[in-house]
Structure 1
């Protein structure tokens, strides 16, 4: 009976460890997203419509810099803005542990006058 209780405690402890590992990955990607939001803050672009959407694909290099792969948008101005604000900007070194992963981010620029 004593061995059964020890086994049950060991199983519960290992389940808790695996659950914590998954949460760490989510918070790492959330930190990266928050840093990008700060870098893209307050665009000075004149928009004809209420909003413009863009899909951004990027990777992180060994130096911890964002490398833009593609910016898919209707407006050339959005593509230029994103590349000028993000390309080769250094991010927090704690976020770099992602490996050779391609990140995808959706951007929505709202017209403040609408």
Structure 2
């Protein structure tokens, strides 16, 4: 059973890695979108254990003006969970964005 689990995890990582290497081009989010994400994250207090952790967040904005998290690349599962909880399907009011465009934004948790 354990071997099957390890094989599935290895296969998932392989598929994810190849999709990432051959995936569509990503754009930097607009300043307005970056500012909105920052405001959503700054309202929340992160655990002390997450200070100095980083993550690259890949997302799209759907037609309902919601952030949809695609992937989060981080060494910390707790940070991934916190980011998904705070950003996924949160509404953003933007004047300009490309619906369905894949964006990537780096996030670093700093101590306050």
Give the TM-score range, shorter chain: 0.5 to 0.7
* Aligned counterparts, 1:7-86, within 5 A: 29-41=30-42, 42-47=44-49, 51-86=52-87
1:105 maps to 2:105: yes
Query: Which structure has the highest strand share of the two?
Result: 1
Give, in whole Å, the separation in 2 of the partners of 1:37 and 1:77: 19
3-state secondary structure, aligned to 2:59: strand
How many Å apart are 1:93 and its aligned residue? Answer: 3.9
Distance 2:94 2:111 in 1: 33
The 3-state SS of whatever aligns with 1:43 is coil
Q: CA RMSD in A?
A: 2.1
**Contact in 1 for aligned 2:53/2:108 (Cα 8 Å):** yes
Aligned residue pairs: how many?
A: 84
Q: Which runs of 5+ in 1 are unaligned?
A: 1-25
The unaligned stretches of length 5 or more in structure 2 are 1-27
Which structure has the bigger radius of gyration? 1
